[in-house]
Amino acid sequence: MTGPLLDVRQLGVEYGARRSMIDGIRRRELKGVRAVDGVSISVSGGDLVALVGESGCGKTTTAMSIAGLVPYASGSIIVEGHDLSTLSSAERRARRRRVQLVFQDPYESLDPRFQVARIVREPLDVHRVEGDRDALVREALHKVGLRPAEQFLHRYPHQLSGGQRQRVAIASALVLQPALLVADEPVSMLDTSVRAGVLELLGTLRTEGMGILMITHDLSTAARYADRICVMYLGRIVEEGPAHEVVTSPKHPYTRALVAAVPRSDGAPRDHSLMPAGETPDPSRMPSGCRFHPRCPVLASGEAARLGIADRCRGVDIELEPEVGDHRVACHAVTVSITTHP
């Protein structure tokens, strides 16, 4: 197959603000919250892509609309060459099988009334998968490291540790043999001691050719395990590139601030100075121009004015533009410095 497994283009997702009865009577139009606003991501087989960003920037919303749980308002989601919006609902169901989701909280994502065997088997039953389903269940459990599988088949989720639960959740995603796994903060609810194990598991799956989109808060996790990193801010990707490059030479002022705030292994103090407090971003009050400008240190320090782009920062929205090769940034200052100092 040519082209990426997953190609998300200009994705836009809106949550309709809830209309109360009063609003209905007064015919007041409420504006929806645009939680995702023009996100583009692509993931190929054998790729582990990390989506990084602070709380509320729209990471989960992106994941859910890729999995078909939240309808999207604009843009397109292309899975293995098929644009989801052009498919019939039956075809979409079949496509959905190829993209599986793992949720953040393994204490919540497993039905407490079902035994492991039934949890992992349910997707097979739903999609009427041919063959020995029980054998497939055991195989999936084995694959995620729950060995011997027989020992786990008849346990309830509350009889498992958090790490084991997350492995069960991953097994129930893997059992359908998806091409792409979307993992929404798969380790953030887990004890530090079992995090590495689950992340290694994702790494192994990637080397076996699966595409993985991993959402995380944690830039150091992303740097360690991902091939590529997408940095998200207020509903849009603001920087995207090979993991190593994004971490060692971040271009966007937001990424630079994130990198500076990461705890350092050499014991150097964390630097929060690059991230001015500003107001916490809120998608219902989207700033004009570049969405980062109210908090941007480049603008605040007067450097933008020196470059003569302050007005552009405040007034003109900007999308990802290639910086070098496949490292792309959405920042007026970066664009200007490239064009003026080639």
Partner 1 sequence: MTRYLLKRLAFAALTIFAALTVNFILFRALPGDAVSGLKCRQCTPEFKEAQRAALGLDQSLWQQYVLYLKGLLHGDLGNSWRPPHPTVWSQLWDPIKRTLPMILLGTVFSVVIGVSLGLLAAWRRGSMLDRTATGMSLAAYSMPTQWLALLMVLYLAGWLGLPTSGVKDPDLEIAQLLGDVGWWELFIDQLRHMILPALAIGIVFAGDYAIITRSALVETLSEDYVLTARAKGLSRWTVIRRHALPNAALPIVTLMALSLGTVVGGVLVVEYVFSYSGIGLTVVQAISERDYPVLQGAFLLLTVAVVFANLFADLLYPKLDPRVVLR
Ligand X SMILES: Nc1ncnc2c1ncn2[C@@H]1O[C@H](COP(=O)(O)OP(=O)(O)OP(=O)(O)O)[C@@H](O)[C@H]1O
Binding stretches for Mg ion (CB under 5 A): 60
Terminal Cα-to-Cα distance of the chain (whole angstroms): 37
Stretch that binds ligand X, among 37-45, 56-64, 266-274, 317-325 (CB under 6 A): 56-64
Q: Least distance in Å: CB of 89 to ligand X?
A: 22
Q: Which residues of 137-149 are buried (b: 16+ CB within 10 A; e: fewer)?
A: bbebbebbbbeeb
Show contacts with ligand X in window 273-312 (CB under 6 A): 283
Radius of gyration over every alpha carbon of the chain, rounded to an integer in angstroms: 22
Q: Which two tokens stand for residue 57?
A: 């920037």
Q: Least distance in Å: CB of 150 to partner 1?
A: 19
- Alpha helices by DSSP H, listed for 129-210, are 133-143, 150-153, 162-174, 192-207
Q: Which residue is nearest to Mg ion (CB)?
A: 60
Question: Angle formed by the axes of helices 162-174 and 116-126, to 10°?
Answer: 20
Stretch that binds partner 1, among 36-44, 106-114, 275-283, 321-329 (CB under 8 A): 106-114
93 binding partner 1? (CB under 8 A):
yes
Quick one: 61 or 164, whose CB is closer to ligand X?
Answer: 61
Q: Which two tokens stand for residue 133?
A: 């389903």
Q: Least distance in Å: CB of 54 to ligand X?
A: 7
Stretch that binds ligand X, among 23-31, 54-62, 243-251, 309-317 (CB under 6 A): 54-62
Q: Quick count: other Cβ atoms within 10 Å of Cβ 68?
A: 17
60 binding ligand X? (CB under 6 A):
yes
164 binding partner 1? (CB under 8 A):
no
Q: Quick count: other Cβ atoms within 10 Å of Cβ 194?
A: 16
Q: Least distance in Å: CB of 109 to partner 1?
A: 4
Show contacts with ligand X in window 2-21 (CB under 6 A): 15
Q: Which two tokens stand for residue 85?
A: 């919006």
Quick one: 18 or 26, whose CB is closer to partner 1?
Answer: 18
59 binding ligand X? (CB under 6 A):
yes
Q: Least distance in Å: CB of 45 to partner 1?
A: 21
Q: Are 123 and 175 in contact (CB under 8 A)?
A: yes
Quick one: 60 or 164, whose CB is closer to Mg ion?
Answer: 60
Which residue reads 């991230």 in tokens? 275
Quick one: 122 or 227, whose CB is closer to partner 1?
Answer: 122
Contacts with ligand X: how many residues (CB under 6 A)? 13
Quick one: 170 or 231, whose CB is closer to partner 1?
Answer: 170
55, 88, 339, 340: which one binds ligand X (CB under 6 A): 55
33, 51, 169, 333: which one binds partner 1 (CB under 8 A): 169
> Distance (Å, rounded) from C-alpha 105 to C-alpha 107?
5
Quick one: 55 or 340, whose CB is closer to ligand X?
Answer: 55
Which amino acid does the sequence have at 244? H
> Distance (Å, rounded) from C-alpha 291 to C-alpha 341?
25
Closest CA to 183 of 47, 40, 60, 53: 60
Q: Least distance in Å: CB of 73 to ligand X?
A: 13
> Distance (Å, rounded) from C-alpha 325 to C-alpha 237?
17
Partner in contact with 146, chosen from ligand X, Mg ion, partner 1, none, beta carbon below 5 to 8 Å by kind = none
62, 109, 221, 255: which one binds partner 1 (CB under 8 A): 109
Q: Are 303 and 274 in contact (CB under 8 A)?
A: no
Which residues contact partner 1 (rule: CB under 8 A)? 18, 21, 64, 67-69, 93, 96-97, 100-101, 103-105, 108-113, 122-123, 126-127, 156, 158, 169, 172, 176
